[in-house]
Structure 1
Amino acid sequence: MAYDEGLAERIRDRLGEDRAITEKRMFGCLVFLCNGNMAVGVTSDDLMVRVGPQATAGALARPGARIFDFTGRPMRGWVVVDASALVEDGPLAEWIDTGRAFAAGLPPK
């Protein structure tokens, strides 16, 4: 599965030069890690966001968000945001910031 390089570049722009951020290709996707913990990723033209188990319900109430379920087994604490909800920079920035904040609160790997 390929990923949208344009979306990946928009994520890179938002994350800036933060030394805690790295990126890695995994399973045909591109993920961005904060201190070794996955924060956000790009799969196809959608955005994967790590929101944490406590924030999942609220995240799912936002436009374009759905359960992260690519294998028939939902991932707790993750959502996928449809590309149509990411056209504007504001919502994309909010999702990226949410994923980064959650990952930054985890112990470094």
Structure 2
Amino acid sequence: MTQQRAELVERLRSALAGREAVREVAMFGGRAFMVDGAMVVSALRSGDLLVRVDPDRGDGLVALPGATRAEMGAGRSMGPGWVSVAADAIADEAGLGFWLGVALDRPRGG
């Protein structure tokens, strides 16, 4: 595990510590965090964060600094429900908290 990803995993563990039904799974080449059986975020090797979002909010969210539509391989969009967030956009707790909140607020059916 890269140092960047290891640090992000620890920050996510800390942020999710008070929630029930949280588990970690190796997924998408990173360490995914599941809440109530649904993936909410994944810490990627690069230190970036893969975020599962409400597809209806996807276009607005990718307009934010450091956010892009997530891709599964070059040029293959994962769709409007997936956002990749650059490590520098989640470097502080406010940035990480914002994106974790977006993921946790996503309707579970979408």
TM-score bracket, shorter-length normalisation: 0.7 to 0.9
* Structure 1: gaps spanning 5 or more residues: none
- Name which of 61, 64, 70 aligns with 1:62: 64
1:9 maps to a residue whose letter is: E
Secondary structure in structure 2 of the residue aligned to 1:40 = strand
Q: Distance in 2 between matches of 1:19 and 1:57?
A: 30
Question: What are the Cα deviations for residues 17-53 of structure 1, in whole angstroms up to 9, with x where unaligned?
Answer: 3122211012431101111111011112100111121
- Residue 48 of structure 2: aligned partner: 46
Q: Distance in 1 between matches of 2:85 and 2:28?
A: 18
1:62 maps to a residue whose letter is: L
* Structure 2: gaps spanning 5 or more residues: none
Aligned length: 105
Q: Distance in 1 between matches of 2:9 and 2:101?
A: 15
- Give the 5 Å matches for 1:87-102: 87-102=91-106
Question: What are the Cα deviations for residues 52-86 of structure 1, in whole angstroms up to 9, with x where unaligned?
Answer: 21010111111100110032321120100000111
Cα RMSD, aligned residues only: 1.7
What TM-score does the superposition give when structure 2 sets the normalisation length?
0.86
Q: Kindly, what percent of the aligned residue pairs are identical?
A: 35
Please tell me whether residue 78 in structure 1 is matched to residue 82 in structure 2: yes
Deviation at 1:88, TM superposition (A): 1.2
Q: Distance in 2 between matches of 1:16 and 1:94?
A: 16
